[in-house]
Chains A and B, each alone.
Chain A
Amino acid sequence: MNLPLLEIRDLHLWMRSFEGEAHVLNGIDLQVQRGEIWGVVGETGCGKSLTGLSVSRLVPTPPGRYGSGQILLDGQDLLALDESAVRSLRGRRIGMIFQDPTTNLNPSFRVSEQLIDVALVAAQHSPEILGLEKGASQRAKRAAARALAGQMLVKVRIPNALDRLDDYPHQFSGGMRQRVLIAMALIGRPDLLVADEPTTALDVSVQAQILILLKEMVQEFNMGVLLITHNLGVVAQTCSHVAVMYAGAIVERGLVAEVLARPRHPYTRALLAAMPTRATPRGGLEGIPGTVPDLIAPPPGCRFAPRCGRASATCLERSPRLVPLATGHEVACVHPLPQEGV
Chain B
Amino acid sequence: MIQFLLRRLLLTIPVLLGLTALVFVIARLLPGDPVALAAGPNATAADIAAYAREFGMDRPLWVQYLSYLGGLLRGDFGVSIFTRRPVIEDLAAYLPATLELVVAAMTLAMLVGIPAGLWAAAQRDRWPDYLSRVVALGAISMPRFFLGLVLQLVFAMAMGWLPLGGRFPITEDLPLRVTGFLTLDALIAGDGHAFKVACQHLLMPALAMSLSPLATLMRMMRASTLEVLQQDYVLTERALGLPQRLILLKYVARNAVSSTLTVTGLYFGWLLGGTVLVETIFDWPGLGLYATKAVVTQDFMPIIGVTLVIGTLFVAANLVIDLLYGVINPKVRQP
Query: B232 and A100: CB pair below 8 A?
Result: yes
Query: A98 and B254: CB pair below 8 A?
Result: no
Query: A98 and B240: CB pair below 8 A?
Result: no
Verify if A218 is at the interface (C-beta below 8 Å from B): no
Cα distance, A92 to B240, chains bound together (Å): 8
Chain A: CB-nearest residue to B257: A108
Query: B240 and A109: CB pair below 8 A?
Result: no
Chain B: CB-nearest residue to A124: B241
Chain A: CB-nearest residue to B333: A168
Known: A106-B237, A168-B330. A98 touches B242 (CB 8 A): no
Known: A58-B235, A117-B246, A170-B330. A107 touches B255 (CB 8 A): yes
Number of cross-chain contacts by CB at 8 Å: 76
Cα distance, A106 to B331, chains bound together (Å): 12
Q: A239-277 interface mask toward B, CB cutoff 8 Å, 1 = contact, 0 = none? A: 000000000000000000000000000000000000000
Verify if B64 is at the interface (C-beta below 8 Å from A): no
Verify if A96 is at the interface (C-beta below 8 Å from B): yes
Verify if B328 is at the interface (C-beta below 8 Å from A): yes
Taking the closest CB of chain B, its distance from the CB of A329, in whole angstroms, is 32
Taking the closest CB of chain A, its distance from the CB of B128, in whole angstroms, is 20
Query: A96 and B254: CB pair below 8 A?
Result: no
Number of interface residues of B (CB under 8 A): 22
Question: Which residues of A sit under 8 angstroms from B240, Cβ to Cβ?
Answer: 90-91, 95-96, 118, 121, 184-185, 188
Residues 39-87 of A at the B interface (beta carbon under 8 Å): 56, 58, 87
Query: A121 and B328: CB pair below 8 A?
Result: no
Verify if B55 is at the interface (C-beta below 8 Å from A): no
Known: A58-B238, A122-B241. A107 touches B331 (CB 8 A): yes
Verify if B236 is at the interface (C-beta below 8 Å from A): yes
Query: A96 and B246: CB pair below 8 A?
Result: no
Question: Which residues of A sit under 8 angstroms from B329, Cβ to Cβ?
Answer: 107-108
Please tell me which one of the listed residues B239, B251, B258, B328 contacts residue A96 in the complex, with CB atoms under 8 A apart. Answer: B239
Verify if A88 is at the interface (C-beta below 8 Å from B): yes
Verify if A219 is at the interface (C-beta below 8 Å from B): no
Query: A56 and B239: CB pair below 8 A?
Result: yes
Name the residue among A106, A122, A168 with the largest chain B CB count within 10 angstroms: A106
Taking the closest CB of chain B, its distance from the CB of A155, in whole angstroms, is 17
Question: Number of contact residues on A: which range applies?
Answer: 20 to 34
Known: A91-B239, A91-B241, A121-B241. A103 touches B254 (CB 8 A): no
Question: Which residues of A sit under 8 angstroms from B237, Cβ to Cβ?
Answer: 106, 114
Question: Which residues of A sit under 8 angstroms from B236, Cβ to Cβ?
Answer: 96, 98, 104-105, 181, 184
Verify if B161 is at the interface (C-beta below 8 Å from A): no
Verify if B231 is at the interface (C-beta below 8 Å from A): yes
Listed A/B pairs (18) with beta-carbon separation below 8 Å: A88-B241, A90-B239, A91-B240, A92-B241, A96-B240, A103-B231, A103-B233, A104-B233, A106-B255, A107-B329, A108-B254, A108-B255, A114-B237, A117-B246, A118-B240, A121-B241, A168-B331, A184-B240
Q: Hey, which bits of chain A sit against chain B, CB under 8 A? A: 56, 58, 87-92, 95-96, 98, 100, 103-109, 114, 117-118, 121-122, 168, 170, 181, 184-185, 188
Q: Hey, which bits of chain B sit against chain A, CB under 8 A? A: 231-233, 235-243, 246, 250-251, 254-255, 258, 328-331
Smallest CB-CB A-B distances: 7 pairs: A91-B241, A90-B241, A91-B240, A103-B232, A96-B239, A106-B233, A104-B236
